Structure 1
């Protein structure tokens, strides 16, 4: 009997027929290694943004999304697959024709992106593996009624996920489920917020008792900083759940802010983050003392506040804060405020927006490149 594993394929990897086939090949490789993957699929790259634009611009904008997916479907599965896309699009189109969208209707439209992507991916995977089944998130992911940013109801979802995984492993089939979406107790489709497919994947793994979840993107792991800030970032090799949760809170790697909640609530799996070629970052519940150090230097901009977050479980937080203040003051960078929490692995330093890039370079060079504390 093969070992269950959850694999999420990120939307940044799904762009055209070739990329869907490459994703399918990757899953086939996972199967060859002796795993029984439960596959979570995101919408194709850019689709969610296009659907959001359709909220304002109307039905013609949404038809572009349908046309995009129908072209993909035609390339990968012919007219039969195209018909499936158009059948899926009927309800969203009827909603847009009415012209008035409430939050529940918006979620239904957004869910089209993931559902269409799943249909196409299942077809691509079936060209390589016979025992593949597309399953619907509404049947397995139960949420509260908070449209646009729903929380998964762990207790209601858990028995459904356990049943799915048990049947998949015992009957040797590969389930493919759309991420980002679920269903509330009233039977309405909900969405989990941007980056919600990561949340879907970690919830399935934690609630289903799966030992590993792989979050596959176009980069080889979580980086120490955004390379656009003029630094040469490294891949963070090890992180704790607390560090991952804090990184998600500040928007690192566009993790959904709820991604690590199911892992902390249940005996969680090992999370591996990376690309097809390399799963560079490993995230576990606990880390060794020698791995407790600054790991990520991340900036956050807003109209009222801008800050740098130094993320990492750190033994000597006082010494680290003193070092950061000295570094910035030596460059005549005004510190507007500092924020630390007892139970959160980060230090936030508030500075002006204009000083963010320079400050990140300075802090990254000293704390990451030199490893100085």
Structure 2
């Protein structure tokens, strides 16, 4: 079987006639490469479904009507043929009736929520498959509950490799062989017992990665609303440039440290299989985007500048920890119990400094730690990070980071180095993050200070 290409389109990419026409153009162009299409729900539909599930029945029904109107408007734009349009209208109404029945159960059980929100992708995938067929591109809807087998961690399920691979190949290979384009629902799967699950953050991207892995695809393409991965957030740094190629490891570091890149979990299946990922822009389809690969030709020591504009810096001091064991474990056990993730860590003989995202239950953890140490909570903190393969090996990069921040009179509260030599992260005052990002980007990525 010739290797396929998995092509995923996000919410903005399936929400307008123009963008759906782009999907058709992409599928036609990739026809000889056996495309498999994965789609998200229309933009904002998942949020509306979740909101409906958490609203009184009257408000929930209003949100369902809003979803109905959003889809019907799109269908009117796509089909001039009333018979074809009515067929799609009928499918949408049936799906929303099912949602309304689920909402009457009036509970917030994660299993129920997964069933409710799954209908966003079920509707969008049907629309895309019907429209492509209408455009003489043979295609068929595949609901991923039939091919992606997961555990029962509802709300953020993990796929099970062997049964998923078996089901994906069983259902998709015959379609690919017969030049029929599968249009697969992103974001959802099902347990071995057939219960609907969702894949959590980055779910539709994760679906594409899973399917690419299971098929042994040549490439996975993620079509979104930006021209790939940038050297910094282009909304903050106007001189930010699209990066032609980065490694999976660099992309993971960027995502972990605040950049709007694929979630690291999303990339695991394709990285394991050595399948490249390309980030492309539905609004600018001629742009080459960014290719994410296992290895790249070394051209620059510094890849990007990332930031988290608001974090909590904790400084934990206890003289009794000197030359003792178990102190760090005690701290991290408290955070684990509170389900709080720690980002950066710096340790000396008697002090531990670490950063966390803002969380509601932090105060309880702080009280427990305060019983055996002195703890200072600093909520006026941000993190700026310099990302690059093997960056820690280059003493000039480290020196330049401090020099640039010093010129701007930006004090570094804490510094952390990646264990894999892929980032230098500085904790600074929260009001200084934008100036720091701009200065580091201008000097290190535009000014040649590598």
TM-score by length of 2: 0.77
Q: Partners in 1 of 2:66 and 2:189 — Cα distance? A: 24
Match of 1:12 in 2: 12
Return the offset for 1:251.
4.5
Q: Say whether the 8 Å CA contact 2:53–2:106 is kept in structure 1.
A: no
- Residue 151 of structure 1 aligns to a residue whose secondary structure is coil
CA-to-partner distance for each residue in 1:235-282, whole Å, 9 max, x for gaps?
1111111112222333533523411111233x2212111122223211
Match of 1:299 in 2: 307
Return the offset for 1:133.
1.1
- Seen in structure 2, the aligned counterparts of structure 1 residues 20 and 279 have a Cα distance that, compared at 3 Å, is same
Q: Any gaps of 5 or more consecutive residues in structure 2?
A: 313-380
Match of 1:181 in 2: 188
After alignment, is 195-204 or 56-65 more displaced? 56-65
- The RMSD of aligned alpha carbons is 2.1
Q: Partners in 2 of 1:104 and 1:257 — Cα distance? A: 25
Q: Partners in 1 of 2:170 and 2:421 — Cα distance? A: 35
- Seen in structure 2, the aligned counterparts of structure 1 residues 223 and 79 have a Cα distance that, compared at 3 Å, is same
1:42-121 pair list within 5 angstroms: 42-57=40-55, 58-75=60-77, 76=79, 77-121=84-128
Match of 1:326 in 2: 403
Q: Say whether the 8 Å CA contact 1:246–1:345 is kept in structure 2.
A: yes
Q: Partners in 2 of 1:120 and 1:310 — Cα distance? A: 43
Match of 1:345 in 2: 422
Q: Partners in 1 of 2:151 and 2:255 — Cα distance? A: 21
1:218-257 pair list within 5 angstroms: 218-257=225-264
CA-to-partner distance for each residue in 1:108-155, whole Å, 9 max, x for gaps?
222111111111111111122342111110011112222222222222
Query: Which residue, 202, 209, 216 being the options, matches 1:202?
Result: 209
Return the offset for 1:21.
2.9
Query: Which residue, 37, 42, 45 being the options, matches 1:39?
Result: 37
- Residue 221 of structure 1 aligns to a residue whose secondary structure is coil
Q: Partners in 1 of 2:3 and 2:64 — Cα distance? A: 40
- Seen in structure 2, the aligned counterparts of structure 1 residues 53 and 309 have a Cα distance that, compared at 3 Å, is farther
Return the offset for 1:353.
1.7
Q: Partners in 2 of 1:297 and 1:55 — Cα distance? A: 39
- Seen in structure 2, the aligned counterparts of structure 1 residues 302 and 281 have a Cα distance that, compared at 3 Å, is same
Q: Say whether the 8 Å CA contact 2:157–2:198 is kept in structure 1.
A: yes
- Seen in structure 2, the aligned counterparts of structure 1 residues 105 and 251 have a Cα distance that, compared at 3 Å, is farther
- Residue 4 of structure 2 aligns to a residue whose secondary structure is strand
Match of 2:328 in 1: none
After alignment, is 43-52 or 311-320 more displaced? 311-320
- Residue 361 of structure 1 aligns to a residue whose secondary structure is helix
Return the offset for 1:292.
4.9
Query: Which residue, 214, 221, 224 being the options, matches 2:221?
Result: 214
After alignment, is 21-30 or 324-333 more displaced? 21-30
CA-to-partner distance for each residue in 1:175-233, whole Å, 9 max, x for gaps?
11011111123322111123221111122112211111111122221111112214311
Q: Say whether the 8 Å CA contact 2:247–2:293 is kept in structure 1.
A: yes
- Residue 252 of structure 1 aligns to a residue whose secondary structure is coil
Q: Any gaps of 5 or more consecutive residues in structure 1?
A: none
- Seen in structure 2, the aligned counterparts of structure 1 residues 47 and 250 have a Cα distance that, compared at 3 Å, is farther
Q: Partners in 1 of 2:155 and 2:236 — Cα distance? A: 31
Aligned length: 369
Q: Say whether the 8 Å CA contact 1:4–1:165 is kept in structure 2.
A: no
Bigger Cα Rg: 2
Q: Partners in 2 of 1:114 and 1:251 — Cα distance? A: 27
Q: Partners in 1 of 2:216 and 2:261 — Cα distance? A: 25
CA-to-partner distance for each residue in 1:63-100, whole Å, 9 max, x for gaps?
31133223323443411111101112222211212321
Q: Say whether the 8 Å CA contact 1:39–1:175 is kept in structure 2.
A: yes
- Seen in structure 2, the aligned counterparts of structure 1 residues 251 and 166 have a Cα distance that, compared at 3 Å, is farther
